[in-house]
Structure 1
Amino acid sequence: MIGVTTQTADEPEEAFGTDWLRLALRRCELLAQMHSVSSDARWMISFAIQWAPFGGASAAELLERFGVSRRRFMELVLEGLAPKSTDVQKIRAMKSHLRTSLVQAWNVQ
């Protein structure tokens, strides 16, 4: 069977497309299963991943859902993905990659 692509040769690949979204959400779930992120952090990280393709959620959405500013929300997400002393190298790398991707997607200054 031949794969069909909707992307033309001159179009750049989506940085935060559906493949990235699925992989990032799976990684978040794995981190939660490994007890490497708290349930509160997992909830916020999942939310951040889901909004990444859109440049992040609005300040109003974050205030309504989490009761915090956009800046504070991202601080909490990044704290949730901070490496723990008990994390093995592979988990540290996974967290680092998610942190980097979310900072880029949400355009954190």
Structure 2
Amino acid sequence: MDGFTLIADPTRRRILDALRVAEHDVSTLTGLLGIPQPLMSKHLRVLREAGAVTAATDGRRRVYRLAADPLPDVLGWVSPYHRRWSDGFDRLAEALDDERRSER
């Protein structure tokens, strides 16, 4: 499953957001997001199979964390836009600085 299809589901986006902050086990994620455990397990399986999250066993718990490079195709697509916006903001900051200097 590609990254765009993966994040098209709002529940999976919420799970990824929670794992971006910290690693969690299934029961903690279920409590945080108010999602029934069977549905949470289904979404985590999809995320794990797509390579967006990893799972490690800690005793009887399975702990999930965001993968090192969870959505490479999404990042690859959005990066040129981010660079363009960033360059535009840099030019705007320079213009504002020039204007402030000329007002002194």
TM-score range, shorter chain: 0.3 to 0.5
- From the two aligned structures, give the one with the greater helix fraction: 2
The TM-score with structure 1 as length reference comes to: 0.31
Larger radius of gyration: 2
- From the two aligned structures, give the one with the greater strand fraction: 2
